[in-house]
Structure formats: C-alpha cells, structure tokens
Structure 1
Amino acid sequence: MAAEHFDVVIVGGAAVGSSVAYHLAADPAFSGSILVLEKDPSYQRCASALSAASIRQQYSTAINVQISLYGIAFLRDIGGHLSVDGDAPAIGLHEGGYLFLATPEGKGALEAGHAIQERLGADIALLSPAQLHSEFPWLETSDLAAGCYGRSGEGWFDGYGLMQAFRRKARSLGVTYRADEAVGIERQGDRVTAVTIADGSRIACGAVVNAAGAGGPALARAAGIEIPVHNKKRMIFTFRCADPVARCPLVIDPTGVYWRPEGEGFLCGLAPPEAEDPDSFEFEVDHTFFDERIWPVLAARVPAFERIRPGRAWAGHYDMNAFDHNALVGPSPELANFHFANGFSGHGLQQSPAIGRGIAELIAHGRFVSLDLSPLRFSRMAENDPVRELKVV
C-alpha cells in the first residue's frame, strides 16, 4: 500500500505552525497540499496558550524590531488577514506599551537599543527619571537613570485567540489538520522523503516544517540533526492590588521582574538565574518563587503593590535556543527541504506572523520575499554569527 502524500507536512499546529500553514495556503504561488500534525489538539499545554501573550518593538537587534513591526501591523488588521466568511477574529489587542527601566549601569544599553528602534520607525520614547515620575507617578524612580516606553505598537492580546484564528483560516483555505504525533523522518541524501507518525504509518512529503515547540529537538534528531534548543519552565503569577495603578504598561524592572495589567488585576513573572534553570517538561508552580523573588521587587518599585492579593498561577515553557536566544528559521544546509521554526526563546507568539510568512515564502518562492529573515538562518551556528539580542525577557 502506497504511503499517503502531502506536498508540505508541518509538525506543530500552534501559533507558528498554523501561521506557516495559513501564509502558505494563501500564497498564490503555492498550489500544493498541506498537512498539519498536532499531537495535542486541545492545545492546553502549548506555549501559545500559556504565555504572557505580548508584543514589543523594544529589541536591541534590527531583525527582531522588524519582525515585531510586521507583527503589530498584522495584529491591527487581524480581520483583513484572518476573517472567515466575514467573521473577524477577536484577539483583544491592547496597545498598552512596554516600559523598560534602567539603572545607571544599564542606561547605555537602553539608549543603544532605542537608537535602533527609532531608526526603524518604532514609536518608542526615551524618558528621564523626571519624565518617568511625571508619566507614571506610582513608580519608584530614585535608583533609575532612564526608561524606554512604547507609546504605540506594543502591548498584549489573546494569544490563544490568535493561534485559533490562524488555524481556522488555514483550514478554510484547504489545510488538513490531524491529531497525530510525528516520531520519525525518512531521508534520501539531502532531502526528506517522508514523516513517520506514532502508529507506524508513513506520510510521503515534498517538504517538512519543524514547528514542534518543545518537541522540536526530538524531531530534528529524528532527521539526524542536533539543535541546541532546550525546554525551560516559566511561571506566571497573578495578583490584585488594593490601590489604583493607572495607565500601567508592561513594565520590565532592571532585575528582570516584569508585570502588566490583566483583567482587573495584574500578571507577572521572572526568568530564574541560569544556574537554577534546568531543562524541564513539568508544569508545577513554585509559589515561594513569587513570595521570595518577585513580590519584594514589585513592592519596592511600585509602593501600591505592598498591598496585593495573589491569584492563580500557571507554568508554561520556552523552547530556548542556547546558542543566542533567537529563533532558528529555515532549512539546515544538509537537508534542503526540512525547515526549522524552533528556539523562539519566548518570542514565538509575537513573531508568528512574520516567521510564518517567511517560511511560507521559502517554500513557495525559494527565498524570502517580504522581509529578509536570513539573520536567523540555521547556518549562523556553524558560522559562529549569533544574533546578539540583549533584551531577553
């Protein structure tokens, strides 16, 4: 019995994989068949559903700024892109801004990043301590030297809603979704020829996209390729504050603690130190991390946060690229039709529109057409050419 065949098999149907599927199906230059394999069709534990679901232009590298400028334009016109039968998705985009804070030691890096952002057209204001106090009177500024605030183009949205909108639109364009797990890759020379799924059956294909998130390294290994991507647990905590904190953006403290409004309260988090950040696939929440590491910073930076009521908390995962904390995008030199979309290091949801479009262009046109994503090429690891992003949250 001959194997089933699809022109493109996308492994992973969350935001990035479904963005690839949508952009490829919508490209007039592509007329082939597309299969998306998703082992967890409930999406309950995927990064798209468990992240803080935010978007920013405040990066220190041009490519990440450009990706996010495209991303915010896409989200603003979500109905124009992803409506199905006149029904526009609702993702609750709120451009509340990011606010990066810097002490004297971090002021230079903040100013350098701001210069790049401003040159590329991002609407980011560089503020003095006096301006910070005037804009955000609830903020403790005595130890600060500067802050960068996104006046527009930055904020937060319904990440699960965006993922489902990509999925619904892709399906309306003829993409097939299947609840199956890809466990093997067959190759001949420098090309992939088939994907093996968990029940042992084979799907012949013309190209594969690895958008498997936490499962990305195992899928790459099945193709004979090692990638330096590791699963890192990140916890998000929520709380309510007794006193008003008006016009609060998403704030990143110099310590790395971040918080933003969420409903009638706030959510917050902090990446643990590298020595306390092992690879992890579990979802347990350590509430002492909030009590001991996060709340003291919150209360010192925003005195109103001394009186809070903690709420629910959850854990999700980053697929962290240990090489440079940026995504691997496109084929490896040894497998021309095996495309990577892995190692987003916490940026996957906000980068999904541009990355999906870029991977689709590589498959349909053989090159990037709209935005040159080559700084994120797979081969940069062998070339020792990292994307040195300083603003990893």
Structure 2
Amino acid sequence: MRDPALTCADSWRATPTPSHRQEPSVSQRSFRTQPEHSSYDVVIVGGAIMGSSVAWWLSQDTDFNGRVLVIERDPSFAQCSTAHTNSCIRQQFSEALNVKVSQFTLQFIKDLRANMGGDARIENIGVQDFGYLYLADNDARAEELKAAQAMQVALGAGTRILTRDELAEAYPFYDLDDIILGSHGAVDEGYWDGGALFDWFRRKAIEAGVEYLSGEVTGVQTEGGRATSVTLSDGTQIGCGHLVNAAGPRAAFLSKMAGLDVPIEPRKRFTWVFSAANPLDRPLPLTVDPSGIHFRQDGPETYMVGAAPHDDIAVAPDDFHMDHSIWETHVWPHIATRIPQFEALKIVTEWAGHYAYNTLDQNAILGPHPELENFHFINGFSGHGLQQAPAMGRGLAELIVHGSYRTMVLSPFGYERIVTGTPFGESAVI
C-alpha cells in the first residue's frame, strides 16, 4: 500500500529526479538579457533540447555563416519537457522512419565525443539495455507487434517476439493470464543520459557563436508570406530571416502569434519511483502494459512507473499538480495485478511533466508552414522528443540552410499532413 511519506532514493538511480534536472548548468551564465544585434538569420524560440539541437547543427554547417539567436523564457529550464523526461530510447516503433530516427541517436550518442568535434570534455553516452517489452492481450495487437518486429529486425534492431511461455520463463514474476505474447527489445533500448546531450548541444552551440537570450516572445510580425520579426515582453523587436518554433508544449501559443494553427497542446504525464518490499530477482524491462501504464527498473530495488491522467486533456503549461488519486485507483492496482510482488511498495518520489501532444497523430511536426515559408516547426513529439532530437535538429538545420534534407528524408513529418488531416501512421505511442 502507498506510504505518503516521500524520501530520496538511495541507489544507482538511472533517472535523476526533477530537482536534479532543474539545477542551472554552467552555460546558463551565457544567457544575455538583451540581444547583441537587431536581427538574426535564424531566431529559435525555445532553448531546450530541440532548439539547442537545431542551433548546434546550424553552427556546424560549413555552408552557413549567419547569426543565430535562441530565445528562452526560462533559463533554468525548470518547466520544460526536457527537464521532466524519463530519458529512454527505443527502436520498437511501427513506422520505419521512427526506427531510423532513434537509430541515428544511438549512433550519435555512443560516439558523442567524435560526433561533436573530438572535444576531450565530452564523454560518450551508453544505454542501459533493460529493453522495452510490449505486451499484447488480443490477437489484433499480437499481429501488430509481429509485423512491427519483422520490420525492426530488417532495419538491424534486436527485437524478439516472446510467446506467453517464453515470457513466463524469462520473467516469472508477471501474471500473464490475459497475455498472448510480448515484443522485447534485446539491445539498444533503455535509459540514457539525455540531459548530458542537451547540455552539450547548448554549450557547444554557445561556444560556436550562437547567442542565447533570456526573454519571452509576445508577438510575431509577418509580411508577404514571411515572418519578419518577433517582439519580446519588454518591447524589444528582433528581425529574423527564419523563425523556428521550438517552444515545446507552448508551440500553439507561439504559432497563434503568427496567425497559424498547430494541433499541439500541453498534456500532463505522471511519473512515480517506488521501492518494493519484495524486490524482483532480475531487472524489470520497460513494460508497456495493455492498460497504457508503463513501468521499469530504476535502481537495484527501485522501479519507475509512468501514466496519463484519467482525463487526458490540455492543461496550462505551468500546471504540474500531481493527481494522487490516480495512483490509488488506477496505477497501483494495475501494476500489483501484473506483478503480484508489487502488492507492498513505497513511493520514493513523484512528479508531473508535459507532453507536447500532437492531437492529430502524436508524432513530430517538422519543417516550414506552407503559407509562412520561413516559419519552421520542430514540435509535437508527444513523448518521443528526447530520443529524436539529434536527427530532427539536423534535418531542420538542413532545410534552413540548403532548402532540402541532405541526410535523412524527414518529409513525412511535414506540416502538409496537418492541412489534409492525414495522420502519420505510427501506432507504438506510449
């Protein structure tokens, strides 16, 4: 039963608590309070991992020698989605393009030092391979997982299909009475230090000459089918050659300033870390339960759970209130049913964060708006953002500099599908 007392975990915690993530980094000292110039070739609104990825990739393109400004409303990054992520990566998607995007991140982080110029300060980032385990409780879902697994393996992933008997042998702690089969990522799926990548994107962008400004955009000026400038809350107006919307859960607010609509809203997601009175005898994969709840190992004797609220609706972007009733009435009963050893447990810590939720299809929107050709989206990742940031930032930088994708064709994520109401076909959304 839940103990309301909250204490700090004493373990090798895979994921730092939000209080750790919110500590200002060294590069926060590089934020300006006034822009150095009156106009910039690229203005990026939002300095978390998406905005910083775009900024860094722009700074590395030898064909680009323009000025880049990143405007961030909160230099502590205390409320951004990046700060509240559970920082996992997977290759188990139903669409090949999403698999390839995550595979690029895996390649990029594993050789991060070389990929960011050989800087001796940078350490390569590994993945704690506990793997994702999707459980199917009906024939249709089982067939979906089988088809996706075949595609993933063809692309080099280590996904395997496990029958109910094989699941019981590998993970005897599950109650599998309602389960037909599972899909498990055996390699390159699990926790990684996304916060470190975010920090290096930002630091290296600043060192390469990108300017970071502490300020809040309150207006976007347009003329002749282009965004021409942004206005800050203090009245400062800054001209732009290109404007990038990297505002995360606030993406729709920025878009409306330019007279544009984008189907993105802040959706709350809850995370709990708990210890069990009777810990499991082997690591717990990130289990995606048919209930929609997911849970995984988080330390030698601690575990992490994630879930959506009962009413999954848009919230204010500064609403981080925890709904404690969802734990008692929904989350804990489900995990204790799936894993009877979790009947007795104690919450260690808990927090709420936000998805930048794309209401059309829960996938990224990338690239320019068709009617405002220099207004670019890098939004709507709906929980996939951290693992997709390297490829998406690179792709948008290529569009801005070269007018087309040079490395990975990401056009299926373009805004055109929003206009036609044609969803990107990804079904593996958590």
Alignment TM-score, normalising by the size of structure 1: 0.95
1:257 corresponds in structure 2 to: 293
Runs of 4+ with >6 A deviation: none
The code of the aligned residue for 2:101 comes to I
For residues 157-204 of structure 1, give each alpha carbon's deviation from its aligned partner in whole angstroms, at most 9, with x where no partner exists.
Answer: 233222112111111211111111122111221111211111111111
- What is the distance in 1 between the residues matched to 2:179 and 2:420? 38
For residues 334-369 of structure 1, give each alpha carbon's deviation from its aligned partner in whole angstroms, at most 9, with x where no partner exists.
Answer: 111111011111111111111101101101111111
Note if contact 2:109-2:126 (Cα within 8 Å) is conserved in structure 1: no
Note if contact 1:319-1:342 (Cα within 8 Å) is conserved in structure 2: yes
- What is the distance in 2 between the residues matched to 1:151 and 1:161? 24
1:58 corresponds in structure 2 to: 92
Note if contact 2:249-2:357 (Cα within 8 Å) is conserved in structure 1: no
1:187 corresponds in structure 2 to: 222
SS of residue paired to 1:209: strand
> How far off is 1:90 after superposition?
6.5
- What is the distance in 2 between the residues matched to 1:303 and 1:279? 34
- What is the distance in 2 between the residues matched to 1:284 and 1:82? 38
Q: Which residue of 62, 70, 78 maps to 1:28?
A: 62
Q: Which residue of 308, 316, 328 maps to 2:345?
A: 308
Compare 374-383 and 102-111 and name the one that shifted more.
102-111
The code of the aligned residue for 1:198 comes to S
Q: Which residue of 359, 364, 369 maps to 2:406?
A: 369
Q: CA RMSD in A?
A: 1.7
SS of residue paired to 2:420: coil
Note if contact 2:111-2:124 (Cα within 8 Å) is conserved in structure 1: no
- What is the distance in 1 between the residues matched to 2:144 and 2:205? 40
Note if contact 1:186-1:192 (Cα within 8 Å) is conserved in structure 2: yes
- What is the distance in 1 between the residues matched to 2:176 and 2:334? 13
* Residue 386 in structure 1 maps to residue 423 in structure 2: yes
Note if contact 1:83-1:89 (Cα within 8 Å) is conserved in structure 2: no
Note if contact 1:84-1:169 (Cα within 8 Å) is conserved in structure 2: no
- What is the distance in 2 between the residues matched to 1:324 and 1:286? 26
The code of the aligned residue for 1:8 comes to V
2:322 corresponds in structure 1 to: 285
* Residue 39 in structure 1 maps to residue 73 in structure 2: yes
Question: Matches of residues 227-242 of structure 1 in structure 2 within 5 Å?
Answer: 227-242=262-277
- What is the distance in 1 between the residues matched to 2:338 and 2:243? 47
> How far off is 1:279 after superposition?
3.0
Note if contact 1:82-1:89 (Cα within 8 Å) is conserved in structure 2: no
For residues 219-273 of structure 1, give each alpha carbon's deviation from its aligned partner in whole angstroms, at most 9, with x where no partner exists.
Answer: 1111110111111111111101133321222111111110112234111111235
- What is the distance in 1 between the residues matched to 2:113 and 2:276? 35
Note if contact 2:365-2:380 (Cα within 8 Å) is conserved in structure 1: yes
For residues 280-301 of structure 1, give each alpha carbon's deviation from its aligned partner in whole angstroms, at most 9, with x where no partner exists.
Answer: 4311111221121111111111
Question: Matches of residues 68-217 of structure 1 in structure 2 within 5 Å?
Answer: 68-82=102-116, 85-89=119-123, 93-105=127-139, 106-217=141-252
- What is the distance in 1 between the residues matched to 2:53 and 2:376? 14
- What is the distance in 1 between the residues matched to 2:233 and 2:126? 37
Q: Which residue of 253, 276, 279 maps to 1:218?
A: 253
**Structure 1: which 5+ residue stretches go unaligned?**
none
1:4 corresponds in structure 2 to: 38
> How far off is 1:83 after superposition?
6.5
The code of the aligned residue for 1:43 comes to F
SS of residue paired to 1:381: helix
> How far off is 1:319 after superposition?
1.1
> How far off is 1:30 after superposition?
1.3
Compare 130-139 and 50-59 and name the one that shifted more.
130-139
- What is the distance in 2 between the residues matched to 1:292 and 1:356? 40
SS of residue paired to 1:80: helix
* Residue 355 in structure 1 maps to residue 389 in structure 2: no
The code of the aligned residue for 1:369 comes to R
Pick closer, same or farther for the CA change 1:92–1:308 going to 2, 3 Å.
Answer: farther
- What is the distance in 2 between the residues matched to 1:77 and 1:84? 10
Note if contact 2:111-2:125 (Cα within 8 Å) is conserved in structure 1: no
SS of residue paired to 1:86: coil
SS of residue paired to 1:391: coil
> How far off is 1:85 after superposition?
4.1
- What is the distance in 1 between the residues matched to 2:202 and 2:210? 9
Compare 94-103 and 258-267 and name the one that shifted more.
258-267
- What is the distance in 1 between the residues matched to 2:338 and 2:295? 11
SS of residue paired to 2:227: strand
- What is the distance in 1 between the residues matched to 2:259 and 2:297? 44
The code of the aligned residue for 2:279 comes to P
Aligned sequence identity (%): 41
- What is the distance in 2 between the residues matched to 1:72 and 1:237? 26
1:15 corresponds in structure 2 to: 49
The code of the aligned residue for 1:300 comes to T
